[in-house]
Amino acid sequence: MTELTFPAVLRRGLPRARYIALAVRLAAAAAIAIYALTTPGFLTLLSANALFTAISFVGCVAVGMTFITLTGNIMSLAIGATVSASALIFLACLSLGILPAILVALLFGVVITGAQGFLVGHLRANPILVSVAALSLLLGGAAFVTGGHHIYPSGAGLEIFKDRFAGIPIDAWCFFTTVAVGQFILSWTRIGRLMTMVGSNVRAATAAGVSTTATVTAAYVIAGACASISGILLAARYGSGDMEIGVGYDYTAIAAVLVGGTGIAGGSGSTLRTLVGVIVISVIEVVLLLRGFSEQLQYLITGLLVLCVIMLHTLGERR
Amino acid sequence: MPVLAIDGVTKRFGPNAVLKDVSLALDAHEVRAVCGENGAGKSTLVKVITGLYAPDEGAVCVDGTPVVITSPQHAQELGIALVAQELSLAPALSVLDNIWLGNRKVPLLHRRQELRARARAALDKLGLNDLALDTPASALSIGRRQLVEIARMLTRDARVFILDEPTATLSDVEIERIFAALRALKAEGKSVIYITHRLGEVFEICDSVSVLRNGDLVGTRRTNEIDRGTLMQMMLGRSLGEMYPAWESSPGDPMLMVKDLHVPPLVRGFDLTAERGTVTCLAGQVGSGAITVLRALAGLTPGASGEASISGKPMRLRTVARAQAADVKFISEDRAGEGIFLRLTVGQNLIATKLKDHTAFGLLARRGLRATAASLAAAVGVDRKRLHSPADELSGGNQQKLAFGRWIGGDRPGVLLMNEPTRGVDVGARAEIYRLIRQFCDRGYCVVMASSDIEEVLGMADVVVSMYRGRQVARYRRGETDMQRILADITHPAAA
Ligand SMILES: Nc1ncnc2c1ncn2[C@@H]1O[C@H](COP(=O)(O)OP(=O)(O)OP(=O)(O)O)[C@@H](O)[C@H]1O
Ligand SMILES: [Mg+2]
């Protein structure tokens, strides 16, 4: 016999918020799909696999970023620059042969990002500040070494990156492998579990005897390796590199991570979700491009989308 | 007319009804206990009254009129003040700011001096005379945080005061002060709802008691008409045997030796010897250092120094890894912050420390982990069906069982350190946990626990060490001491 006021009705509905969130998500996916498929040129793009290639570069970065977010450290602002720098290093080392070049580039990404992870994990330094410092170091170092010039490859053998396997470009294969390996690490290895624990509650993890230093460093190492893979693919695809090549990848990657549904607070997430996020974001970007929206508008729309998704997630989690 | 009445309230989470058609009425000048096992629905009831959950059926009536309480702020406006079960202080804010945080009665333009004075008075009432108003909440021990929350409640200008397990981390000294404050409120004509698992408190401070079991209201009785046994019978639906297991206390060989432990600023030069196969209890009031000592031994205090050895092997302090390598296991007093992972599932919580045993070449044996989780859940009495629910959907006491469960098992007997092991655990489960503790002893563990519940200390300890301000006051073997002596030790030690 209670008189219901509006907020009470609203809150009474909240246990169902989860389903509402799911429904909204499906509806949004359908809307995006229809909008994309009716965009002139989209189908050709699909059939030409251009979309696959486009998502692979930022996709690898996003998979790596998932690990940083998952361990509760939000994101690294230095990842875009790490992509560029890895591309440069890869190209510069090509004269040694393709495999050594890949290894050197990977090593670079792992060390520079792993070092951030060590600082964050061991000293509990603020992850954003650490990554800003790393960003300045990278930009300064690169400017010093290259003098701001482009680098062109000094060896051959890049053709193999332009191959296809089973009709799918090599870049896309690399990306899908990263997703699969990432997910494997999260679900099937001990270090993956420890990352979830640390991300969900650092103090509880410490009390349970988990080494936060090792765990967080491992997460950053993976992120660094992913960034380097992205840089190598980019360099191979375009045959040249400069420090601009990875600009903005960190933002797009974190957007994809969040849209996919990995919680920004840490402790939950998966690279499969990130895969979905990457596809959504990339499709929207491509469609906006095809429809002739200006770049500014593209940013704006992507930004709004991320905001909506985050609100949707919080709604889904509330009781 | 009752000040507050709950009229046929039902609350469901998904298909499960957590409260089923519960009705109670609370008069002015009344202190009402609400008792029931873990998960009986006590906290849920409180959340309905304070506007955190909307009831699915039924209504809350204030002064006889049904109201829809839409938010905790709204509840506050209706004159309902709450001390929640989980601590809710903002760590970065000062004690003063925390006390006034969210108080709707503080005008935008206020006199800071007056707020200070009122906060001071409330703190003094609870015996926190030495606590500066500008201390950040993060610097306080669990017990003191709890007291600050109660001080916050006292500054609220309310008619109904609700306390959800306010004394779980406090010793009798602090509890007596809280009782004095509650009696004063009662004399002023206010009403109090008091939730506790310590049955002694029910008979000491409460006029009447309502018992919940599995969401049903079993009944409401006046406390002078029933006894402890009847109350337990009502709560459990059966009678409980002995609370504390019977055993022969026999001294074992020393296992844990601590010499000259320093944990600034509280503990200076503390020595301890604990024997294999026995329970050693550190008893003390809030600020006695008992909890601090065990935290330091668990490797959680970077500033600790001193010598510790286990079975003769020296152990390095200050890192958890070292402590665990020496088979030291620790149960934290801060359940939500450090004891368990609230956002992970029940299963993941139980296996949090077992990953190593089920890993080969870095890969997890997930089937083994699942089996371990299931058997640990059974060992501590958590429903297997809940293994995949997030831990924060469990009631407070069941969460404590998770913290306990993760240390069960393991091949080598070690040292089990526990701060407030039965914090928020109901009588039935408590007896269960006491039995588990004795099992640890029988398997050759050396158990050291810090407890503020003297009854528990007397019931469980082979050796009691009473503490005051970071020092040992006295050490007794089982049977050598009693309630009065310990109480005297931890409040006015003769030597201090
Ligand atoms: N948000 C939620 N979603 C699903 N189930 C819940 C939720 N909150 C509580 N429950 C369930 O409701 C039941 C009652 O929980 P409640 O916290 O009220 O118990 P309690 O009587 O306070 O127990 P304790 O003494 O352990 O604090 C429990 O079984 C709990 O698991
Ligand atoms: Mg409760």
Among B205, B236, B267, give the residue marking a domain's end: B236
Looking at the structure, do residues B129 and B183 belong to the same domain, yes or no? yes
pLDDT reported for residue B61: 94
Looking at the structure, do residues B48 and B127 belong to the same domain, yes or no? yes
pLDDT reported for residue B208: 96
Looking at the structure, do residues B231 and B321 belong to the same domain, yes or no? no
Residue B157 included in any domain: yes
Gap from B488 CA to chain A (nearest CA, Å): 34
Looking at the structure, do residues B153 and B269 belong to the same domain, yes or no? no
Residue B241 included in any domain: no
DSSP string of chain A, one letter each residue: -PPPPHHHHHHHTGGGHHHHHHHHHHHHHHHHHHHHHTSTTHHHHHHTTHHHHHHHHHHHHHHHHHHHHHTT----TTHHHHHHHHHHHHHHHGGG-HHHHHHHHHHHHHHHHHHHHHHHHHH---HHHHHHHHHHHHHHHHHHHHTT--B--SS--THHHH-EETTEEHHHHHHHHHHHHHHHHHHHBHHHHHHHHHHH-HHHHHHTT--HHHHHHHHHHHHHHHHHHHHHHHHHHHS-B-TTTTTTHHHHHHHHHHHHT--TTSS---HHHHHHHHHHHHHHHHHHHHTT--HHHHHHHHHHHHHHHHHHHHHHH--
State mean pLDDT over B393-400: 86
% of chain B with per-residue pLDDT over 90: 58
Q: Quick one: which atom of ligand 1 is closest to the CA of B400?
A: 26
Gap from A247 CA to chain B (nearest CA, Å): 34
The CA distance from A89 to B293, in Å, is 53
pLDDT reported for residue B435: 87
Looking at the structure, do residues B259 and B183 belong to the same domain, yes or no? no
pLDDT reported for residue B483: 87
Q: Is B288 on the interface with A (CB under 8 A)?
A: no
Q: Report chain B's mean pLDDT, rounded to a whole number.
A: 90
Residue B470 included in any domain: yes
Residue B246 included in any domain: no
Residue B443 included in any domain: yes
Cross-chain Cβ contact B342/A201 below 8 Å: yes
Among B176, B205, B236, give the residue marking a domain's end: B236
For residue B70, the chain A residues in CB contact (below 8 A) are: 5, 7-8, 11
Residue B100 included in any domain: yes
Q: Is B344 on the interface with A (CB under 8 A)?
A: yes
Looking at the structure, do residues B226 and B297 belong to the same domain, yes or no? no
Residue type, A234: L
State mean pLDDT over B482-489: 88
- Measuring from atom 31 of ligand 1, which residue has the nearest CA? B394
For residue A205, the chain B residues in CB contact (below 8 A) are: 341
Q: Is A211 on the interface with B (CB under 8 A)?
A: yes
Domains of chain A: residue spans and CATH: 54-318 (1.10.3470)
Instruction: Find the domain containing B364 and state its range.
Output: 254-491
Report how far ligand 2's centroid is from the alpha carbon of B381 (Å).
Answer: 17
Q: Quick one: which atom of ligand 1 is closest to the CA of B16?
A: 5
DSSP string of B12-79, one letter each residue: EETTEEEEEEEEEEE-TT-EEEEE--TTSSHHHHHHHHTTSS--SEEEEEETTEEE---SHHHHHHTT
Among B206, B236, B266, give the residue marking a domain's end: B236
Q: What's the CATH number where B364 sits?
A: 3.40.50.300
Looking at the structure, do residues B479 and B339 belong to the same domain, yes or no? yes
Looking at the structure, do residues B86 and B199 belong to the same domain, yes or no? yes
pLDDT, tens digit (0-9, with 9 covering 90-100), for A195-224: 999 999 999 999 999 999 999 999 999 999
Give the total number of structural domains in chain B. Answer: 2
Identify whether the C-beta of residue A121 lies closer than 8 Å to the C-beta of residue A215: yes
For residue B68, the chain A residues in CB contact (below 8 A) are: 2-5, 8
pLDDT reported for residue B332: 93
State mean pLDDT over B433-437: 87
Q: Quick one: which atom of ligand 1 is closest to the CA of B47?
A: 18
> CB of B41 closer than 6 A to ligand 1?
yes
- Among chain A residues, the shortest Cα distance to B367 is held by A188
Q: Considering only CA atoms, give the Rg of chain B.
A: 23
> CB of B424 closer than 6 A to ligand 1?
yes
List B residues 84-143 in contact with A (Cβ-Cβ < 8 A): none
Looking at the structure, do residues B170 and B318 belong to the same domain, yes or no? no
Looking at the structure, do residues B280 and B197 belong to the same domain, yes or no? no
Tell me which H or E stretch contains B447.
strand B446-451
Check residues A67 and B357 and name the one with the higher pLDDT. Answer: A67
Looking at the structure, do residues B122 and B218 belong to the same domain, yes or no? yes
Looking at the structure, do residues B190 and B117 belong to the same domain, yes or no? yes
Residue B245 included in any domain: no
Low-confidence residues in chain A, pLDDT < 70: 1-18, 47-48, 148, 154-157, 315-319
Residue B243 included in any domain: no
Gap from A139 CA to chain B (nearest CA, Å): 35
Gap from A225 CA to chain B (nearest CA, Å): 19
